[in-house]
Amino acid sequence: MTEKQATFEENLARLDQIVNQLEQGNVPLEDALEQFKEGMKLSKTLEASLTKAEQTLTKVINDDGEEVNFERDSDE
């Protein structure tokens, strides 16, 4: 049985849920530490996803079908 990998949006929603719970301050210390660890792991996963997406978006396909880096205009 293979486990479905969570989407970016699912990970973001879980991180938001953890942050809200921790901000309320009514979580037992042991649970808070576990949630913090989970939140840090999710944060790193989300950051990696964003970095990968950014790298993909900064490339374009030229007329020959080759992937090339996107270059911004120098006046921006």
Residue 37 C-alpha from the chain's centroid: 16
Residue 9 CA to residue 48 CA, distance in Å, equals 14
pLDDT of residue 5: 87
pTM here is 0.72
pLDDT, tens digit, 9 for 90 and up, residues 30-73: 999 999 999 999 999 999 999 998 888 777 766 677 777 766 55
Q: How many residues are there in the chain?
A: 76
- b/e for 12-51, b at 16 or more Cβ within 10 A? bebbeebeeeeeeeebeeeeeeebeeebeebeebeeeeee
